[in-house]
C-alpha cells in the first residue's frame, strides 16, 4: 500500500492539475499554479526524483508562461494532449537513458541487496514501460476528445481515470508478485 501512496505522491502535481483545472480559464490557471507550486515544493523537499519531476518542471513552467501569462489559445486547447504527452516522453526518456523512473520508487520498497539484480531492474523497466503506455493512451484519449467532434467529453475523462487506475493496479499487483517470487527464491 505504501508504494501506491508513494506513486500518488510522485504524481500529486499532475493529479492536482487534473482535478482542479476545469471548464473555466480561472480554474485552469489555478490548477496550473497549484501544480507548479507542488512541483517546486517537492523539488525543495526532495520528494521527487527522476524523469517525471523533470517533465513536471518543463511542462508546468511552459504552462505558466503560455496559459497563465500569455493565455495562448492553441496551448490551452491542446493542454491535455501536451500534459499526457509530456509524461509519455518523460517515461520514454527515462527508459532510453537507462534509468526507468519507477526504479527510485521501487527502491523504497525493495531490500537493498536486490537493487542490482536482473529481476529488479527488469521489473523497473516493465513498470515504467507500462506507465509509458498509460500516458500514451491518455494522450490519444485527449486528442480524440479535442479533435473528434462526436467524442463525449465526460466519457473520455472517465476513460482517462480508468486508464490511470489500471496503471496503479498493475503497479501494485506487479510489486506483490515480484515480492512473492523473491520470497520463494530465498
What's the mean pLDDT in 42-65?
A: 89
Q: Measure the CA angle with vertex 172, ends 169 and 177; round to 5°.
A: 120
CA nearest to 132, candidates 176, 170, 78: 170
With a threshold of 0.85, does the pTM exceed it?
A: yes
Q: Which residues span the domain enclosing 28?
A: 2-185
Confidence of residue 1 (pLDDT cuts 50, 70, 90): low
pLDDT tens per residue across span 121-134: 999 999 999 999 99
Taking the C-alpha atoms of residue 41 and residue 7, their distance in angstroms, rounded to an integer, is 16
Report how far residue 14's alpha carbon sits from residue 27's, in angstroms, rounded to the nearest whole number. Answer: 14
**pLDDT of 7:** 74
What was the pLDDT predicted at 30? Answer: 97
Q: Which residues contact 76 (CB under 8 A, 6 or more apart)?
A: 25, 28, 66, 67
Instruction: State the total domains in the chain.
Output: 1
Cβ pair 51, 91 in contact under 8 A? yes
CA-closest candidate to residue 144, choices 126, 128, 163: 163
Amino acid at each position: 500500500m505504501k508504494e501506491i501512496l508513494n506513486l500518488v505522491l510522485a504524481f500529486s502535481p499532475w493529479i492536482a492539475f487534473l482535478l482542479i483545472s476545469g471548464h473555466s480559464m480561472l480554474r485552469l490557471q489555478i490548477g496550473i499554479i497549484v501544480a507548479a507550486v507542488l512541483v517546486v515544493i517537492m523539488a525543495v523537499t526532495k520528494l521527487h526524483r527522476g524523469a517525471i519531476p523533470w517533465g513536471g518542471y518543463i511542462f508546468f513552467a511552459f504552462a505558466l508562461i503560455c496559459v497563465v501569462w500569455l493565455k495562448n489559445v492553441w496551448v490551452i486547447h491542446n493542454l491535455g494532449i501536451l500534459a499526457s504527452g509530456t509524461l509519455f516522453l518523460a517515461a520514454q526518456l527515462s527508459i532510453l537513458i537507462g534509468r526507468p523512473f519507477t526504479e527510485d520508487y521501487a527502491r523504497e520498497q525493495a531490500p537493498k541487496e536486490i537493487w542490482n539484480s536482473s529481476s529488479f531492474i527488469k521489473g523497473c523497466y516493465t513498470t515504467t514501460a507500462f506507465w509509458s503506455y498509460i500516458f500514451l493512451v491518455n494522450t490519444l484519449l485527449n486528442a480524440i476528445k479535442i479533435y473528434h467532434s462526436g467524442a463525449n467529453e465526460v466519457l473520455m475523462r472517465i476513460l482517462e481515470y480508468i486508464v490511470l487506475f489500471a496503471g496503479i493496479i498493475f503497479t501494485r499487483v506487479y510489486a506483490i508478485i515480484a515480492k512473492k517470487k523473491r520470497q520463494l527464491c530465498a
